Structure 1
């Protein structure tokens, strides 16, 4: 048995410490405080959970459960500021302060986001895919769009999920039996980036009929983030739709109601373009301005949006606009079908009625 001789002397550990060094007494000596330490008399207490907490939208981390939901019952008893009431057209400029902020910084934000389009634009995402085709991509997104709508997520989350999906397809071949898992994973990553309450992993897996496990989804999430180098702040159609709508409201080229109707219908046209692989060649800003232009035609607005504010050539504008009009006609009776317009405007009309007058 090996033993170590402890040196003796005035500076040895034996003379410096009252007890020999051991595992139980290996801590450094604690310096006493000169001033007394003040402690809280009562421990911190977490806020109670509100009765109307949206459990379906709470995340896996559980952090959001510690805070009150904006729709909780406690907020109804609090005194409300009439200036902070729900706007009649959510997502659009509804106050003089919002209009002034957009006039000051809107064009700078648009130029910055437009400069990032080439960096985040997926080019021929299915060129290196031996098992994934344009038809299977259309089927997946046609299933993912109602799922996104059922959860009540924003349009930004859907656009970002499609961007993540296409960008990952440009880097890695995906098997056909894992393509649905990739779509669900892309939606989860996008919701973590955009939404306040992302969905639970269990909820997303239940939508797949139990075909995948939690570990498979988490592993694929790490792979997607690694392949994309954690670059998730991509400019989407949703951002440019809001920008062009805010521009026409701030410049007084259209009334707020007409701009809101065109914005809601343009979102429906943009959803159709997201599922069609042929529209991946167009940039989000070009698709956004053409969707609004087509919405003005379908609604027969008296003051349509000037498409040249996007600084795109006339040839590109007419090409994208014609493709969108053909896409709409293939998904309905006619491009100006009243049923088709009401179908996409109905969620906006319902939200407006729920919010009440401005």
Structure 2
């Protein structure tokens, strides 16, 4: 009876399956020698098949240990045979170059002596000078120039060794970082720019800063964000004249940029439009952000006095109440146009000195002079200006900073009596 196609197909499929099973068994035997698990370990992320294969799995070739040994032996045999052939060729060339004069015994004896000599040391040409021994000693360390050498910190002025185990404090580079920030201040020196603003006045700027402090409190932003926003506003106004109707837009946009620079989770643009009572549109705020960044050449990492104040307060281990008092003096100075031209490190030093005198904690000691780089003679004009600012009567409508530092969270430092000018002058003279 003839065999149908179905039976032929089944028979062919059976043969094919037996071949596949045989191949699978061979693969299993190889897998016992080299175990390569294709399934991911427990807890590992699955492979993303939607993208290209970024692993090197397609480049891996499985090689068995037995095959490695055989291939290594073959390579060793090839190298040995090649070296023997090269030696035989050199010996034949040397024997042919020997003079034909003399008996065969003498020729054979000279060949043996020459072969011994070649095995002992390489043949050297007498006409060429003898090779000098190569100096393998390591090169001497180059001296670091004096102007870039790291200056050692005296033990009595070292305030970072206590944080040697804390990598977040960067104790090895803290002094260098603040010295760099102090040098960088020279790039951001300002002057009284109100002459370039025909539509603005110092009082308008004071109202804007008072409003920014209120926004900083409501949004619970960092103090660094507030200081940077004021710096960005001043630098932009020193370059671009604007109309008084755009002043609030400049301040809110500067605060938005500062939030993106300092905050972990900056507020969205809609919040800044809301605090402006929807006086501006979203497109206007985005355009102002681009204008500020372009006018500052995108260099917005401006040193602020708040960072220097925290650093200098650690030098004398002052309490939190004294540091908060110095911060109150420093934040009050943001509202005055006369302090725009002061460098942040110098303003922070003057605020701390005034807080120390107010708390009767001494004057400007050598460790503060070492880390700040300022002497008392450098701080006297700024301290006197701060005292006159705090002594002047304040506007009842601009008391946001005073109300802020009258809270218990800030130790109610705004309610402390101002130090007498005679006591202050005496401390400045004795320091």
**Inter-CA distance 183–342: structure 2 relative to 1 (3 Å threshold):** closer
Deviation at 1:212, TM superposition (A): 0.7
- C-alpha contact (below 8 Å) 1:116/1:235 kept by paired residues: yes
Say if 1:292 and 1:305, in contact at 8 Å, map to a contact too.
no
Distance in 2 (alpha carbons) for counterparts of 1:261 and 1:99 = 27
Measured after TM superposition, the shift of residue 205 of structure 1 is 1.2
* Rounded Cα–Cα distance in structure 2 between residues aligned with 1:326 and 1:230: 36
In 1, are the aligned partners of 2:313 and 2:323 still within 8 Å (CA)? Answer: yes
Please report the TM-score for the alignment, with normalisation by the length of structure 1: 0.63
Contact 2:353 2:363 in 1 (8 A): no
How many Å apart are 1:305 and its aligned residue?
5.5
Task: Select 1:124's aligned residue among 169, 181, 192.
Answer: 192
Distance 1:99 1:349 in 2: 31
Whether the aligned pair in 2 keeps the contact of 1:298 and 1:341 (CA below 8 Å) is: no
Contact 2:324 2:411 in 1 (8 A): no
Counterpart position of 1:288: 348
Of 389, 404, 413, the match for 1:327? 389
Match of 2:211 among 143, 146, 154: 143
Q: Which residue of 1 aligns with 2:378?
A: 316
Q: Which of 222, 236, 239 is equivalent to 1:154?
A: 222
Give how far 1:232 is off: 0.7
- Provide the C-alpha distance between the structure 1 equivalents of 2:47 and 2:327, rounded to a whole number of angstroms: 55
Tell me, in whole angstroms, the C-alpha distance in 2 between the residues paired with 1:243 and 1:158.
Answer: 18
Q: Secondary structure at the match of 1:146?
A: helix
Shift of 1:166: 0.8
SS for the counterpart of 1:287 is helix
Once the two structures are superposed, residues 257-302 of structure 1 have per-residue CA deviations (whole angstroms, 9 ceiling, x without a partner) of x332222111111111011001112111110001111111222225
Decide which structure has greater helix share.
Answer: 2
Which one scores higher on RCO, CA 8 angstroms, separation ≥ 6?
Answer: 1
Q: What residue ranges of structure 1 are gaps of 5+ in the alignment?
A: 1-35, 45-91, 333-339, 351-358
C-alpha RMSD of the superposition: 3.2
1:39-188 superposed matches below 5 A:
40=46, 97-98=165-166, 101=169, 103-188=171-256
Contact 1:161 1:186 survives alignment (8 Å): yes
Rg larger for: 2
The Cα of 1:162 is off from its aligned counterpart by 0.9
